[in-house]
Amino acid sequence: MIGFMAKPELVASEAVRDEWLRRVQAEYTSAAMTQNFTLWLMQIAASPDLIRSGLRIAWDEMVHARLSHKTYVAAGGNKAPELLRERLALRRNEAEPLEIEVMRVTLNTYCIGETVAVPLFKTLRESCTIPVARRALDRILRDEVRHRAFGWTTLEWLLEGPMAAELRVVAAQALPRFFYKIQMSYGAALKHLATMPAQDRAWGLMPPAEYHAIVERTLTRDWLPRFGAVGIDAQAAWDESRRVAPTG
């Protein structure tokens, strides 16, 4: 653009653009999953309050997508997000009762994913000074606290229901794999990468080592006490997750 020079402190790196575009894609995925999950909650006759929370979360995630895209464009990005259609829905396994699948998604997406999201976004926001990115992280962090609560409320409700005993078995079987996956998706393989240019941090990024450390801290701060409160042994599942084969 003739006559236009971005202020040097606003210049964003390729890493910044890649990350914010990835976030747009991730937010679309979260929105679609939660919308789909809320339908499942309707199908198993969850309370209207829980359904309302689910629908509100689906919309929050679209707002996050919009704010992330705005940040991406401000960072100089101009590509369309690549949305993988098959990932924008929950796949139903008809051989199993729907309650079992609802339990797995509750554990993996909300009790694990949305719970670690709170300290992750809190840390990302601390060094974020570029206004457009900061506004996105402000809103995301505020919402993630409620998304986390939704997961634990849903879990409590499931464990008060008639299938509780069966669902506890599902939790014991599935948690190690879910813990393994969260460690893999947040820095476990790249945890030696601890540095990052200050400019990238100002745009709301952080290096893999910090993601990794936050996932580890979330075990003691959130997963052990919160799962413990409903009688689920998260420590055993975590220890088991360290033995899960890389293909798991």
Residues at the site binding Fe ion, with contacts judged by CB under 5 A? 27, 61, 64, 147
The token pair that represents 47 in the structure block: 């309370």
Per-residue b/e over 15-35, b at no fewer than 16 CB within 10 Å? ebbebbbebbbbbbbbbbbbb
- C-beta closer to Fe ion: residue 18 or 233: 18
Query: Distances in Å between the alpha carbon of 126 and those of 26, 74, 177, 188?
Result: 21, 20, 31, 22
- C-beta closer to Fe ion: residue 109 or 183: 109
The token pair that represents 91 in the structure block: 């796949």
State in angstroms the smallest separation of the CB of 242 from Fe ion.
27
Contact 215, 116 (CB under 8 A): yes
State in angstroms the smallest separation of the CB of 141 from Fe ion.
10
State in angstroms the smallest separation of the CB of 154 from Fe ion.
14
- C-beta closer to Fe ion: residue 110 or 227: 110
State in angstroms the smallest separation of the CB of 23 from Fe ion.
8
- C-beta closer to Fe ion: residue 61 or 222: 61
Backbone angles phi, psi at 78, to 5 degrees: -140, 15
